[in-house]
Structure 1
Amino acid sequence: MFVGGGDGPDVGQPGGERRDTAGPETGSPDIGRPRILPYSWIIGQDDARTALELSFIEPRIGGVLISGQRGTAKSTVARSFNLMTTGNLPVTLPINATDDRIVGTLDVPALLEGRWAERESLLEEAGSRKVLYVDEVNLLDDHIVNLLLDVVSTGQLVVAHAATERRVEVSFQLVGTMNPEEGSLRPQLLDRFGLLVEMVTETDIDVRALILERVLEFDQVCRTGPTKAYRLALRADRRRKDQLKGARVMITDGAVVLPDAVRVQCARVAAAIGAVGHRGDVTLARAALAFAARRGADVATAEDIRAVARFVLPHRRGAISRGGSATWSEADDATVSKALGDDG
């Protein structure tokens, strides 16, 4: 369970106010109030945390979709992770955003002054900051989904005003959150998320009590300013960021190897689960390499495949396009084990 609210303002921030807490490089706290809970204060939910870290280590994985009930802190973990790794909250696409805000529009005040100028679009801003966050992504209008699909698939944004048109190269990680009780996500967009994670309500009383303790402690920080424990949390965030950056360098430098036998296992596992197309095979290999780098290894193994399959493959089955579930089960774990050649 992640501490924080998945719907509405972030926990400990009345009215959803967002204030500076760390610089983009040093991560050292300033005298203002925090914008969001430190990443190291997040409790449990290892799957969501792992998926976000893998997508950071290997951006070609293609982003993360976090699905869960309301109040499970889906948005908090996504924003907290982005703040830790970049020093900024992510560029956010509101579900009520207009086309002009998404793809760009003319700067009317500048035009009235006789100057030609354009307002930067949300997608261009996301390209500059490398992440686009979409809360309640399953509630986006179809034409907005089509815009996203076009940009994600082509890497280009077409900005047209009157008789002018320009093409902008944009590339960003797509991070989305949704409550499946409020509707499903179009299969075409679902397939564009490299990893899928399900978040559930914590049922262990001791863990719930610890979550409450962290929430109240963060409330106190928001009221009175940084405490010793809060500053220690920021230091822990900096250490984790450095570890993840080191793993990312390993991937960028080609320092992690995918042996031929493991490559074949990726294809075998994807086929056994029933993945449609080949994107699942490719993403499975990239995620396995990232998982190996995350643990500091220079060779990906079958165990890395086993660790990431439940994030990569559940939303790629043919049944999804027919309204099937993207839930991962113990039977799926058994299928993966059999495909990997485990005895029994």
Structure 2
Amino acid sequence: MTEQSAIHILPYTQIVGQLEMKLALELAYIAPRIGGVLLSGQRGTGKSTVVRAFARMMDDKLPVTLPINATEDRVVGGWLIEELMRGELVPQPGLLEDANTRLLYVDEVNLLDDHIVNIILDVTSTGVLVVQREGKSEEKQVSFTLVGTMNPEEGGLRPQLLDRFGLMVNVTAETEEDKRMEILRTVLEFDKKLSQLQPGESSAGYVEENKEYKAVLETARQKLYSVKTPVEIDRKCVKLAQKFKAEGNRGDYIIALAARAYAARHGKTEVEEEDVENVAKFALQHRRPQALQNNQMPWNDKDNETVQQILNGD
């Protein structure tokens, strides 16, 4: 089975495991102002599989992928080379424009030039792409869901870049034998069904499942800002960021926004403590001093206990 077979076109609703990764992607879609998701883990842990499946469900196509060797012109836009060689200036949209309203996937983001990463993160947080050509500056409204992946064994991100990713997930390989068996059987079964399809035929059952799931996320996105956040919840978000020594104010904001997205995802009209508890890890683990200093981002049971104590007012 090759990378382009069932494992990379497995419907999102059929993917087993990696619940944290899936949740982070969904929250970033529901609340675009979160500013993107960083997935950190070794090769073979399903990062690309989940991202591609999510993009196909939401956009009915694979994500726009930014290559490691991408130049600034390729990212923000430049001129069509063929026309330029003939002396004509014809604008060529960059990858950020191509990703508008879709998912932008940056594999091995830690190996990308810092300047390019900065540009992408600026557009993600502001929704504005500034393109400068021939001394003229043009602003374009661009919105996409940013997902970056990295293998920590190949180096980390600079602290100022790490902090600007809204959510971060440590992705690990499934170690439990029964769970690995479930993943394997799911992929093999889907691969078998694909081989039985006639030309032009689709796996209608899976397509319908994806549509229903997509509708839930779209509804949550539409209702995001109708979800109320009580003042006491906001204060607990601030206390969490302070307790984990997150630098600046971004952590406070991301916890509150992600909690609101989580509440919207579950059809609530008001954010509760449990919503904050379920997103705190994603918003804080990469903003702690040890993470910013050496890219060490483990989150343990003691951290979970600390979150619960603050939310319970202990």
Give the TM-score normalised by structure 2: 0.90
Q: 1:217-236 residue pairs with structure 2 within 5 A?
A: 217-225=189-197, 230-236=203-209
Match of 1:65 among 38, 42, 64: 38
CA RMSD in angstroms, aligned pairs only:
2.5
Q: Does residue 255 in structure 1 map to residue 249 in structure 2? A: no
Q: Does residue 210 in structure 1 map to residue 210 in structure 2? A: no
Structure 1 match to 2:111: 139
Q: Read off the aligned partner of 1:133 and give its amino acid letter.
A: Y
* Matched residue count: 313
CA distance 1:149–1:235, change in 2 (3 Å): closer
Match of 1:267 among 235, 238, 249: 238
Q: Read off the aligned partner of 1:119 and give its amino acid letter.
A: Q
Structure 2 match to 1:43: 16
Match of 2:282 among 311, 330, 341: 311
Give the Cα separation in 2 of the matches to 1:178 and 1:236. 30
Instruction: Tell me the SS of whatever aligns to 1:72.
Output: coil
Give the Cα separation in 1 of the matches to 2:308 and 2:123. 37
Query: CA offset at residue 280 of structure 1?
Result: 0.7
Which region of structure 1 is more displaced relative to structure 2, 219-228 or 259-268?
219-228
Which region of structure 1 is more displaced relative to structure 2, 159-168 or 273-282?
159-168
Instruction: Tell me the SS of whatever aligns to 1:129.
Output: coil
Query: CA offset at residue 161 of structure 1?
Result: 3.7
Give the Cα separation in 1 of the matches to 2:257 and 2:87. 50
Of all paired residues, the percent bearing the same amino acid is: 47
Instruction: Tell me the SS of whatever aligns to 2:259.
Output: helix
CA distance 1:209–1:157, change in 2 (3 Å): same
Structure 1 match to 2:25: 52
CA distance 1:114–1:93, change in 2 (3 Å): same
Query: CA offset at residue 130 of structure 1?
Result: 3.9
Give the Cα separation in 2 of the matches to 1:333 and 1:124. 39
Q: Read off the aligned partner of 1:185 and give its amino acid letter.
A: L
Match of 2:65 among 82, 92, 110: 92
Instruction: Tell me the SS of whatever aligns to 2:240.
Output: helix
Instruction: Tell me the SS of whatever aligns to 2:286.
Output: helix
Query: CA offset at residue 306 of structure 1?
Result: 0.7
* Structure 1 runs not aligned, ≥5 long: 14-34
* Structure 2 runs not aligned, ≥5 long: none
Q: Read off the aligned partner of 1:326 and give its amino acid letter.
A: M
Contact in 2 for aligned 1:273/1:335 (Cα 8 Å): no
